[in-house]
Amino acid sequence: MSEQRGRSFYVLAAFFALFILFLYGPTITIAILSFQGPKGGLTFPMNGVSLHWFYDLFEQQAVGDIWGSFRRSLGLGLMVMVTTVVVSVMGGLAFRKRFLGSGVLFYMVITSLIIPSILISLGVGLIFNQLDLDVHWTTSGFGSQLTWTLPFGLLIMFAVFNRFDKTYEEAARDLGATSWQTIRHVVLPIIAPSLIGVALFGFTLSYDEFARTLLTAGSYNTLPLEIFGMTTNVTSPVLYALGTLTTVFSLVVIAVFILSAWVLNRRRASSGNDSGNGLV
């Protein structure tokens, strides 16, 4: 593939550029529109430029409890993130060898991924209802979100372990390491960069989750639920301002995760160890 670029390259490159525009265009549009002047509406033209709608976000009365819901989403995201990393790594390690019921468990993981989210919401809601327990984001909401993040975490772990060079472990064992020592000092350090990927998925999928939290979050909304509530009764650019802020927050989180994975990989490369390469 070192010859001159053919015509197909330019056609495909144009297609790709259009796809990127399609992906980002709408988000960029609302980012611009969130700077509407105080009298501006939901569409162009811009009626002046101001930070009016961002100021509005900080006034409790204007838009309900968005800061409370943001704090809850943040807390829940961190809870889900930590749990997803720990449970996925353990699960990934378990699945490297076949054990009684591993097939069933694997199909449960796949089911968890493909089941319509509203069924989780409904089922968990019904159980709490019948047990006379209150649904709450830290209990029912937390568990419901895990059914969404864990399959992704596990799939990443499967991909990691499929590419894992087992000779490192054999070497550790030959040097007399116990199986716990092998995991702690050999396996975990090697897979560490991909754990950042699992953590990123765990946090962002939870932070943006809607359908599985809908009937399980209880009376205290998470941020996506709050935003969806706003879509039915807020018809000012304050919605765009909120959308822009939470998207910027997501982007910062993603950037931090990707940068730390990159730094980790680089530090490793400079110390002459190439394990973990090829993983995002």
Partner 1 sequence: MSSKRSISNDLTGWLMASPLALVLALFLVLPIAMIVVVSFWGATEFSIYPAFKLDNYQFLFGSAVTYSVFLKTFMFTLISWALCLAIGFTVAYFLAFHIRTQTWQIVLFLVCTVPFLTSNIIRMISWVPFLGRNGIANQTLISMGIIDEPLEWLLFSDFAVVLAFVHLYTLFMVVPIFNTMMRIDKSLLEAARDAGATGFQTLTNVILPLTKPGIMIGSIFVVTLVMGDFITVRFMSGSQSANVGRLISNDVALLRYPSAAATSVVLLITVLIVIGIMLRFVNIRKEL
Q: Measuring CA to CA, how many Å separate 140 from each of 70, 109, 160?
A: 18, 19, 30
Retrieve residue 56's tokens. 């509005």
Give the Cβ contact number of residue 222 at 10 Å: 29
Q: Helices (DSSP H) in 34-137: which residue ranges?
A: 52-57, 60-63, 66-94, 102-114, 117-130
Restricted to residues 241-280, the positions that interact with partner 1 (CB under 8 A) are 243, 246-247, 250-251, 254, 258, 280
Q: How far is the CB of 229 from partner 1 (least distance, A)?
A: 10
Restricted to residues 73-132, the positions that interact with partner 1 (CB under 8 A) are 86-88, 90-91, 93-102, 105-106, 108-120, 122-124, 126-127, 130
29 binds partner 1 (CB under 8 A): yes
27 binds partner 1 (CB under 8 A): yes
Q: Which of 62, 211, 260, 275 is in the footprint of partner 1 by CB under 8 A?
A: 211
Q: How far is the CB of 273 from partner 1 (least distance, A)?
A: 18
Restricted to residues 138-167, the positions that interact with partner 1 (CB under 8 A) are 143-144, 146-147, 150, 154-155, 158-159, 162
227 binds partner 1 (CB under 8 A): yes
Q: How far is the CB of 136 from partner 1 (least distance, A)?
A: 14
* Contact call for residues 49 and 40 (beta carbons, < 8 A): no
23 binds partner 1 (CB under 8 A): yes
Nearest CA to 80 out of 257, 200, 194, 251 is that of 200
CB nearer partner 1, residue 62 or residue 122: 122
Q: How far is the CB of 272 from partner 1 (least distance, A)?
A: 20
Size of the site for partner 1 (CB under 8 A): 93
Question: How buried is residue 219: exposed, middle or buried, by Cβ count under 10 Å (0-12/13-18/19+)?
Answer: exposed
Nearest CA to 73 out of 149, 142, 143, 151 is that of 142
57 binds partner 1 (CB under 8 A): no
Binding characters for partner 1, 170-189, by CB under 8 A (x = yes): --------------------
Per-residue buried b or exposed e for 30-66, using 16+ beta carbons within 10 Å of the residue's own CB: bbebbbbeeebeeeeeeeeebebbbebbeeeeebbeb
